[in-house]
Structure 1
Amino acid sequence: MAKLKEKLLEKWNETLKAVLPIIAIVLILCFSIVPLEPGILLAFLLGAVFLIVGMMFFTLGAEMAMTPIGENVGTSMTQTKKLLLMVLLTFILGFIVTISEPDLQVLAEQVPSVPNMVLVLSVAFGVGIFLVASLLRMLYNISLAHMLIVLYIIVFILAFLAPDEFVAVAFDSGGVTTGPMTVPFIMAFGIGISAIRSDERAEDDSFGLVALSSVGPILSVLVLSLIYRPESARYVPESIPDISDSIGLWKIFAEGIPEYMQEMAVSLLPIIVFFIIFQLVFRRVQKRMLIRIGVGMVYTYAGLFLFLTGVNVGFMPAGNYLGQVLADNPYKWVIIPIGMIIGYFIVRAEPAVFVLTRQVEDITSGTISAGAMSLSLSIGVAVSLGLAMVRVLTGISIFWFVIPGYAIALILSFFVPKIFTAIAFDSGGVASGPMTATFLLPFAIGACTSVGGNIVTDAFGVVAMVAMTPLITIQILGLVFELRSRHLEKMETRKAAAAFALLPDDDIIEL
């Protein structure tokens, strides 16, 4: 019990450190240049409380339940050595975990014309297929860089053929899919598979699953766009809630709680059923661990519905209104540096970022520190938010950003250590999590509404931009690491040569 309290306190502190900078930025803005209506500000603050408590329970639950499930399933499945069974189980896992992803649900709510379930199932199918591709890559030692080049060529060919209103949404789908539910599970699944391998590339191959799982949704939504014709793709913005008093404030939260409780129960049920069947067949998990996983699932469920209630009821309206007011003033350009500051801090509030940076530090034995990873991600996301705000203000096509961006990322992959490439492409998916979908996307939509832009083509795509820049910044970190290692190696060689030259001839002959 004492250990559980200690863990809860640790998660509470982590969450506070992540979310408080965002709250501080919003409060500074609303008391200086962006006047917020009192009702919206109170909804934002209460939403922040829900978000903090929800994230605390969720991250603890994911650590207790999702990570051990992923590792056990990955290891047991690979030990069977039955390829067909492995492929089938991997697809089912990718499919059901994606359906449970909270930020995918948030994005689906905001996408016009396409029914939520159509988009969610399409994305889940894409993740399932590409998780299978990740499994085959690990089993047959296929180069991640080569796979990514081929896949992104296909992505851009399909993107040119797809209707404009689907392109930005497709790239956003790839970003939101790899969030706090899928990342702990998929990364643990990869570690479980690589654990039974003893070759020197096993560690490198444990990364890259998130990267490939991010490509699947982009392709599946682009294919959907070629066969699905909505009646209208016009975006209808959500109305800003009118809150007159404290009772009205609580009422909108009280109405949201049952809805998200039901939504998350339906989403988590397939994972629970799958694990029960897995345990009945393999009987791998001991009783004590089963109890721990059960408690973890309860925490995960509580955390998810509290988190979703907080962000949907409190954060989204505040983000939308903030964007509207900032873009409506005479100095519209100010939204670019403000967006960059918000981007720098908001990536630290992503639950999956904690998971990735820690696993990277553990697996690389501290060679790649969590601090260096966090700084690189923050810089990348700050740049991406600045570019996204430029898009909102000017209406420049997303192709002018994603094509050069991915081209640079793929070219860098040939010059940096392979593990950095895998981590970089994993980081792109991780950085664009629920905070991006629930605050930054409404922020961009609000700004786009004020400047009279096309919301579907100009505001959507902000998640894609956030997912793209870490691919470059993390690989640059890898390039610096590689150059520094080579420099140190040369220095050591020179020192050894100099020391050797000072030895007497007799000692040299003896050596």
Structure 2
Amino acid sequence: MRKKLKEKISEALSSVLPITIIVLLLSFTLAPMPIGTLMLFLLGAALLIVGMGFFSLGADIAMMPMGDQMGRKLGASGKVAVIALVCFLIGVTVTIAEPDLQVLARQVPAVPDMVIILTVAAGVGVFLLVSMLRTRFGVPLQYALIGMYIIVFILSIFVPNEFLAVAFDSGGVTTGPITVPFIMALGTGLASIKGKDEDNFGMVAVCSVGPILAVMILGLIYRSSEVAYTPFTIPAVFSSQDVGEQFLRGLPTYLKEVFLGLLPIVLFFLVFQMVSIRLKRRPLIKIGVGILYTFIGLVLFLTGANIGFMPAGHYLGETLAAGTPSWVLIPIGMVVGYFIVAAEPAVHVLNKQVEEVTSGAIPQKAIGLSLSIGVAVSIGISMLRVWLHIPIYFFLVPGYLIALALTFFVPKIFTAIAFDSGGVASGPMTATFLLPFAMGACQALGGDVLMDAFGVVAMVAMTPLITIQILGLFYQRKLKRTRDVTAEEELLLTDDIIDYTEEVETDV
């Protein structure tokens, strides 16, 4: 276990180090940073590295096995009504305690925090139920997504602009580091019973639509003139003692948030364990240790991100916008976006699951590169919006149209992975660094933060839908033009892996 933990921390170091170096270079050149803010950032980076290492190991030995076991039992059950109720309850309870959702709720003071939280949680619960039914009855993900986004964009015509960016942001923030590993594993477990290979993915994608619709409906109920955001203030830090106090002051908050976030998952698993799973003592102890690792990792990670990275992101955005030509924000934002996605904890979970499910036909590096390119493009567009005050609608509509059109030309599994990756990429690093970065730049340029800066999460959630499907086109072209293709790749890209398996079993 210690050896695996060292490996995970080493992987986390390689993921967090690039963005740390970039911030340091900017602080020494274009955006000189107060020493207190810089110390907060560096200590936050250290907590991120250790936290991500613990989280990754905990997800491997606890979160993924728990979700997989529960998904298998749900998939094998013949009582559709009971399965639907359980999926709805899981979606609601897990989402309510998602830390990123608490941040989103505080940004819209016109609506009581609990109203937003409960509405968004209900949206996730309903669409987790829908995702389960889609897998069970064999509805192609492609057509399900097209139908859902048609409803989203028709409804968006009537929603006040002030709510539009927040609505699309909510689809990303609710699929955070606590929910993503569990929901992905739940989908894998369900697919193992009656699903096809591509059904191992897509559950996060469907669940991301629920919050968007939920917040849009809120936007039709509440008056747009009341919508505002809570201004961010950089803490006054003058000494190493002040730095320590900031982290110690924030630590209890994240201890509570992570505990409440993991509690519903653990309770649901215990119920399943007593009723149907009935694992033996040794696997249960291993899962218990994994839950502890996950808890420690997320507490350290969220503390480092919120206390250390948020002030640095806001200060850099504000200083760069005030002290350099506005267009400089675009290339700098793209470089930051390219490297910061590797620091998202759930990205590592997705990459590993893709490689395992496809038997190495789609390597982690290929997915990671596609995600990095997608996020780089999204931050570049976001900085362009901040600079020129372009409504987000002008990017979301054509972006989703392109993503949905690509579903007709790429292998189905790439569509499922792509739409999952949108929710995975828009995690806590986006909420705690990229969004404050955009807010700081917007304030310095005198823009409307709610209209121009919000929407960063939505853009980060959209662009990987395109870049990963383009990766699918590349793999498809490789299959047609060369013989240097593995058996796994050929079966995967022709969407015949299930039929092929059944034929082999019949022949035997």
Q: TM-score, normalised by structure 2?
A: 0.92
Deviations 1:304-338 (A, max 9, x none): 22222211111111100110001112412111000
Alignment correspondent of 2:305: 311
Larger deviation: 251-260 or 52-61? 52-61
2:360 aligned with 1:333: no
3-state SS in 1 of match to 2:157: helix
User: 1:237 is matched with which residue: 227, 231, 241?
Assistant: 231
Shift of 1:230: 7.5
Query: What is the CA–CA distance in structure 1 between the aligned matches of 2:104 and 2:470, rounded to whole Å?
Result: 30
Shift of 1:283: 4.2
Whether the 8 Å contact between 2:59 and 2:349 is mirrored in structure 1 is no
Amino acid at match of 2:157: F
2:456 aligned with 1:462: yes
Query: What is the CA–CA distance in structure 2 between the aligned matches of 1:157 and 1:180, rounded to whole Å?
Result: 30
2:143 aligned with 1:131: no
Whether the 8 Å contact between 2:8 and 2:56 is mirrored in structure 1 is yes
Alignment correspondent of 2:30: 33
3-state SS in 1 of match to 2:226: coil
Alignment correspondent of 1:275: 269
Whether the 8 Å contact between 2:340 and 2:429 is mirrored in structure 1 is yes
Alignment correspondent of 2:488: none
Amino acid at match of 1:142: V
Q: Identify if the C-alpha distance between structure 1 residues 108 and 312 changes in structure 2 by more than 3 Å, giving closer, same or farther.
A: farther
Deviations 1:457-500 (A, max 9, x none): 11010011011111111111111211221223799xxxxxxxxx
Amino acid at match of 1:486: K
Shift of 1:47: 1.4
2:23 aligned with 1:22: no
Query: What is the CA–CA distance in structure 1 between the aligned matches of 2:386 and 2:139, rounded to whole Å?
Result: 39
Unaligned runs of 5+ in 1: 492-511
Unaligned runs of 5+ in 2: 486-508
Alignment correspondent of 1:225: 219
Amino acid at match of 2:103: V
3-state SS in 2 of match to 1:326: helix
Amino acid at match of 2:147: V
Whether the 8 Å contact between 1:327 and 1:451 is mirrored in structure 2 is yes
Deviations 1:364-413 (A, max 9, x none): 12211111111111111111110000001111000000000000011110
Counterpart mapping for 1:40-79 below 5 A: 40-79=37-76
Query: What is the CA–CA distance in structure 2 between the aligned matches of 1:465 and 1:353, rounded to whole Å?
Result: 17
**Structure label with greater radius of gyration:** 1
Counterpart mapping for 1:464-479 below 5 A: 464-479=458-473
Query: What is the CA–CA distance in structure 2 between the aligned matches of 1:311 and 1:490, rounded to whole Å?
Result: 43
TM superposition outliers: structure 1 runs of 4+ over 4 Å: none
Counterpart mapping for 1:94-173 below 5 A: 94-173=91-170
Q: TM-score, normalised by structure 1?
A: 0.91
Whether the 8 Å contact between 2:90 and 2:264 is mirrored in structure 1 is no
Whether the 8 Å contact between 2:98 and 2:257 is mirrored in structure 1 is no
Shift of 1:112: 4.2
Amino acid at match of 2:69: N
Query: What is the CA–CA distance in structure 1 between the aligned matches of 2:284 and 2:111, rounded to whole Å?
Result: 39
2:290 aligned with 1:293: no
2:351 aligned with 1:357: yes
Whether the 8 Å contact between 1:449 and 1:455 is mirrored in structure 2 is yes
Whether the 8 Å contact between 1:72 and 1:284 is mirrored in structure 2 is no
Alignment correspondent of 1:446: 440
Whether the 8 Å contact between 1:62 and 1:181 is mirrored in structure 2 is no
Q: Identify if the C-alpha distance between structure 1 residues 184 and 227 changes in structure 2 by more than 3 Å, giving closer, same or farther.
A: same
Q: How many residues were matched structurally?
A: 485
Query: What is the CA–CA distance in structure 2 between the aligned matches of 1:37 and 1:249, rounded to whole Å?
Result: 12
Whether the 8 Å contact between 1:106 and 1:438 is mirrored in structure 2 is no
2:84 aligned with 1:87: yes
User: 1:210 is matched with which residue: 204, 210, 230?
Assistant: 204
Deviations 1:127-157 (A, max 9, x none): 1111111111111111111111111111112
Shift of 1:111: 4.2
User: 2:3 is matched with which residue: 6, 9, 22?
Assistant: 6
Q: Identify if the C-alpha distance between structure 1 residues 10 and 101 changes in structure 2 by more than 3 Å, giving closer, same or farther.
A: farther
Shift of 1:191: 1.3
Larger deviation: 395-404 or 73-82? 73-82
Counterpart mapping for 1:309-458 below 5 A: 309-458=303-452
Shift of 1:10: 1.3
Root-mean-square deviation (Å): 1.8
Alignment correspondent of 1:195: 192
